[in-house]
Structure 1
Amino acid sequence: MNKISLLLTVCALVLLLGFPHNSYAETQVNENNNIEKSSKDNAKAKKVMKKKGIMDKCIGLVNMSNGIVLPKGKFVTNIKYRYVHKDSLYDGSHKMNGNYGGKYSRINQSVQLTAKAGLFKNFEARVMVPFWDKVVKRKPGNLAQPWDKDTVSGLGDMVFMGRYALMTQREGDWLSFSIGAGVKCPTGDADHENDQPFSKMYEYLGPSAQLGTGSWDPKFEIGATKMFGRSRVDAHMMYTLGGEGAHHSRKGNQLNYDLGYGYSLNQYFDLELELNGVDQDRDIHAGSIDDSTGGHTIFITPGVHWKITDRLNLAVGVPVVVYRDLNGYSSTPDANSRYGLGEDFQVVTRLGFCF
């Protein structure tokens, strides 16, 4: 890494020193005829170098937020796609291979539009608009019966956040540090009913399977970012308080915590590595606690960014589960046991725009 850094430094010095040197040599040879042309070339070179310097910085990491607040008048937006396939039952961290309470498979796909704007000095507002496609496949305890399939698609619960910068690195502070708060609003449908025979126990799908929870959920966040050279380090935490939702249900309180590092290889590509944690309480479903929901999962997310232009970028990350402790319970007979449904990995992509 030291040799690579030294080589990059030498190349940067050659570029920085080469332009004025060449301009000076050309001026000496064609002193009377090329002064105006040389000035234009120098101005063009400075503009190119400034643009290259911006693109040599590592952009924001794909599976987490950060501590940077947009300057006043700045506007950015992105579209994020996430694919999650849960098809394994876990008792804590131990994978269960029996048919406990039937066979389950859940595929969640989401497309989320996020828009951020710097409204005032040190303050930004952002809105997140998710669209979901959720498919749940279930078999009752009798495996001879056909699969039951529930599909819900449409607008999810929108989130509105405000964030204030306590420290800003671009204004001379040693890092960027911010705090924020907001609310998740009940804009998604929370009234999808269960099919037979599952409706005998619950008339409606649980809050995690619906497009929305039917509740107003406060959110609180804190973030920090340190930029140095081609590198960046980000840390972020968000806590969500689940409110009373539709049909006497409530999504469990959730803590998201993230730590990430990104490195700019050149003006076109970045590499990143994140640690992402999700710690969620059990859901309440139809007035009773659902003991097979919630738990603690930690992911490691490698990713790559393609800086297409200085205003357009594409990022891809693959969160891989490295630790899990999912809630559940054993029962007699064993087929009546209920365990947490989990995945081994996810896929996250993001297309970002800057205005």
Structure 2
Amino acid sequence: MKKFILAITCIWGTLTFARETRDSIAVFKNDINDIVLDDCDACGCAAGNGSSGFESLLNPQFIGIKYFAQHYKAKENLFVKDLTQDQYFNTLQLWGRVPVTKNLSLYASLPFHFHDKKNMQGDIRISGVGDMNLMGIYSILKSEAKVHQLNAGAGIKIPLGRFDEKGISGVNPSFQLGTGSWDYQMVLNYQYRKGNAAVIINTDYTVKTENKKHYRFGNQWNYAATGFYQLLTGKDIVFSVKTGIQGEVYDGNRQFSEPLPNTAGSALYGKLGFEAAYKRFSLGSEVMLPAYSHLAGGDIEAKSRFSIFLNIGI
């Protein structure tokens, strides 16, 4: 409970600062200029973050909520060759982004996870607050008419989620609410816009550290390329469709500094979605399907992902 109160206090303080300063900051409603990190990785929401790389949003100042669902197939035990176990990772995420200066923004997110996996012996469910993300995002380059933009960011993941040492003994050690470790993030985002079209290229890297239980999840690299096309533009309404690819690469986990087998992997997804805005409200959704999946040495297979968010400009 103390961790939850601390996280809410951090987000509330950040957003309060935004309300005090927003009058001096220009808001470009139709500017595809927001980049933030998700809190989930390809093997589950707890053991990493930034799986979707950056997300473009229509409101540069916002507070909102996002739902993110992942489905995987895994080996139920060492004596079964087939991937028979369904694993479902679900996250409700409170998030916000506030400008501090013309070129610098602060981003914060707090997830609530509810996961379950289906065993022959019965279902296993866990739920609770996850790890909090805090990040600073800086605009390095912005050309005339905003044709070219380059943004970079750095941040930390605060270990508010509970790490269960028993959970690492399963096929998927990422079936957790949190990593139990302080992790560090670096992000880079390039945007090209011309007319009603835009292309965004993202990459981010997360350095994960050893937790108090002497367990360390592997570092994570994400990359993505997404194309946008604006179908509708009005005084109060904007509607865009998007499609692209997203890749993820995971280093192996370690315990007591010793490498653990079948914990590294990679995956490549295709994605399709939309983003819309009406006055201060923005809505977006995305479906992702794997083109390639080799996770945990082949013991886990990615099946699908789905996300939807609703934000309010502040």
Q: Distance in 1 between matches of 2:103 and 2:276?
A: 28
Distance 1:286 1:108, change over 3 A: farther
Q: CA deviation at 1:322?
A: 0.7
**Aligned residues with identical type, % of pairs:** 24
Q: Distance in 2 between matches of 1:115 and 1:272?
A: 22
**One of 159, 169, 182 as aligned partner of 1:216:** 182
The answer as to whether partners of 1:161 and 1:182 remain within 8 angstroms in 2 is: yes
> Deviation per CA, 1:115-164, whole angstroms, max 9, x where unpaired?
1111012111111111101112334xxxxxx33x3221111010110111
**One of 141, 152, 163 as aligned partner of 1:179:** 152
Higher helix proportion (structure 1 or 2): 1
Give the TM-score of the pair, scaled to structure 2: 0.74
DSSP-derived class of the 2:213 partner: helix
**One of 151, 154, 167 as aligned partner of 2:128:** 154
Alignment of 1:165 with 2:139, yes or no, is yes
Q: Distance in 2 between matches of 1:320 and 1:205?
A: 22
**One of 230, 241, 252 as aligned partner of 2:207:** 241
Aligned to 2:283: 314
Higher strand proportion (structure 1 or 2): 2
> Deviation per CA, 1:156-212, whole angstroms, max 9, x where unpaired?
01011011111124x656411111111111110113645xxxxxx94x997511111
Aligned to 1:22: none
Q: Distance in 1 between matches of 2:219 and 2:173?
A: 12
The answer as to whether partners of 1:294 and 1:340 remain within 8 angstroms in 2 is: no
Aligned to 1:65: 54
Q: CA deviation at 1:242?
A: 1.1
Long gaps (5+) in structure 1: 1-52, 90-97, 140-145, 195-200, 329-338
The amino acid that maps onto 2:136 is G
Distance 1:311 1:64, change over 3 A: farther
Give the TM-score of the pair, scaled to structure 1: 0.66
Alignment of 1:257 with 2:223, yes or no, is yes
Aligned to 2:164: 191
Aligned to 1:46: none
The amino acid that maps onto 2:271 is T
The answer as to whether partners of 1:254 and 1:278 remain within 8 angstroms in 2 is: yes
The alignment covers a number of residue pairs equal to 266
The answer as to whether partners of 1:191 and 1:246 remain within 8 angstroms in 2 is: no
The amino acid that maps onto 1:344 is K
Q: Distance in 2 between matches of 1:177 and 1:188?
A: 32
> Deviation per CA, 1:12-66, whole angstroms, max 9, x where unpaired?
xxxxxxxxxxxxxxxxxxxxxxxxxxxxxxxxxxxxxxxxx956x7686995426
The amino acid that maps onto 1:312 is F
Distance 1:225 1:320, change over 3 A: same
Larger Cα-atom Rg: 1
The answer as to whether partners of 2:71 and 2:87 remain within 8 angstroms in 1 is: yes
Distance 1:206 1:276, change over 3 A: closer
The amino acid that maps onto 2:119 is R
**One of 99, 102, 108 as aligned partner of 2:89:** 108
Distance 1:275 1:102, change over 3 A: closer
**One of 344, 348, 354 as aligned partner of 2:303:** 344
The answer as to whether partners of 2:83 and 2:299 remain within 8 angstroms in 1 is: no
Aligned to 1:231: 197
Distance 1:67 1:109, change over 3 A: closer
The amino acid that maps onto 1:152 is I
Long gaps (5+) in structure 2: 1-27, 39-51
The amino acid that maps onto 1:279 is V
Q: CA deviation at 1:301?
A: 0.5
Which residues in structure 2 correspond to 1:33-182 (within 5 Å)?
63-65=52-54, 75-88=61-74, 99-100=80-81, 103-139=84-120, 146-147=121-122, 149-169=123-143, 174-182=147-155
Distance 1:209 1:286, change over 3 A: farther
> Deviation per CA, 1:275-303, whole angstroms, max 9, x where unpaired?
11111112235765332223110111011
